[in-house]
């Protein structure tokens, strides 16, 4: 078991937080399968007119998943038409539908907003931004945590001490600078949520 998991479980206060998260995951899974037809229609509608702009030439053949990333701080990650990254609490917000494509082995992937067509990118100083053109800054390593969440760290850049910099949304749904993120922090924990209708569409 990782050292940080042990640390997390020890103090009473923190373990209560942990239980709260387990509860949250449970209720989110229900919410996920219980989407209303209106919500599904809105999600389906999100990407339809953008289809012709999809361009996979640079990494043909990779595995593509359409997901929403729901943070442990209870926000859906969005990339808007200005390339700004933030969080929304509206599960039908089109900017929260993401295309997650495997770039290489070892869980390296690129995350693109289906509607805005911006890739999530992190630069050397840990700033998260949307980029229209894919480059190495858009590569993130997906890590499965032991609490059912995933973490996404820059595959290119680390902090000065060599530690990973993560995609993270604060309690207020704002993106955090990579240098301020830690694997232990719930702001870097996300559940990839399945959009059933979207999955059919990509076949």
Where along the sequence are the contacts to ligand NAG (CB under 6 A)? Answer: 41-42, 45, 82, 84, 123-125, 127, 129
Residue 124 or 201 with smaller CB distance to ligand NAG: 124
Q: Shortest distance, CB of residue 41 to ligand NAG, whole angstroms?
A: 4
Instruction: Compute how many other C-beta atoms are within 10 angstroms of the C-beta atom of residue 122.
Output: 28
Residue 5 or 40 with smaller CB distance to ligand NAG: 40
If residue 86 lies in a helix (H) or strand (E), which one and from where to where? strand 85-88
Residue 84 or 170 with smaller CB distance to ligand NAG: 84
Contact criterion met (CB below 8 Å) for 130 and 120: yes
Q: Shortest distance, CB of residue 78 to ligand NAG, whole angstroms?
A: 11
Residue 5 or 163 with smaller CB distance to ligand NAG: 163
Distance of alpha carbon 154 from the chain centroid: 12
The whole-angstrom separation of Cα 103 and Cα 58 is 10
Q: Shortest distance, CB of residue 84 to ligand NAG, whole angstroms?
A: 4
Sign of CA dihedral 196, 198, 199, 203: positive
Q: Shortest distance, CB of residue 7 to ligand NAG, whole angstroms?
A: 31
Q: Shortest distance, CB of residue 175 to ligand NAG, whole angstroms?
A: 9
For 17, residues 6+ apart whose C-beta sits below 8 A from its C-beta are 186
Residue 116 or 129 with smaller CB distance to ligand NAG: 129
The whole-angstrom separation of Cα 94 and Cα 176 is 22
Contact criterion met (CB below 8 Å) for 78 and 90: no
- Rounded to the nearest 5°, which phi and psi values hold at 11? -65, 140
């Amino acid at each position: 078991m990782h050292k940080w998991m042990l640390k997390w479980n020890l103090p009473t206060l923190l373990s209560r937080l942990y239980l709260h998260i387990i509860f949250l995951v449970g209720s989110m899974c229900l919410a996920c399968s219980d989407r209303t037809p209106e919500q599904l229609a809105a999600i389906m509608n999100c990407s339809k007119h953008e289809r012709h702009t999809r361009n996979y030439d640079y990494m043909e053949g990779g595995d593509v998943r359409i997901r929403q990333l729901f943070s442990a701080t209870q926000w859906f990650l969005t990339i808007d038409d200005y390339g700004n990254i933030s969080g929304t609490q509206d599960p039908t917000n089109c900017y929260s539908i993401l295309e997650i494509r495997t770039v290489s082995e070892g869980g390296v992937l690129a995350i693109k907003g289906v509607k805005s067509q911006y890739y999530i990118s992190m630069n050397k100083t840990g700033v998260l931004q949307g980029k229209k053109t894919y480059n190495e800054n858009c590569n993130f390593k997906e890590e499965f945590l032991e609490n059912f969440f995933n973490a996404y760290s820059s595959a290119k850049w680390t902090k000065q001490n060599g530690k990973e910099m993560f995609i993270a949304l604060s309690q207020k749904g704002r993106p955090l600078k990579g240098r301020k993120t830690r694997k232990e922090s719930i702001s870097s924990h996300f559940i990839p949520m399945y959009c059933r209708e979207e999955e059919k569409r990509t076949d």
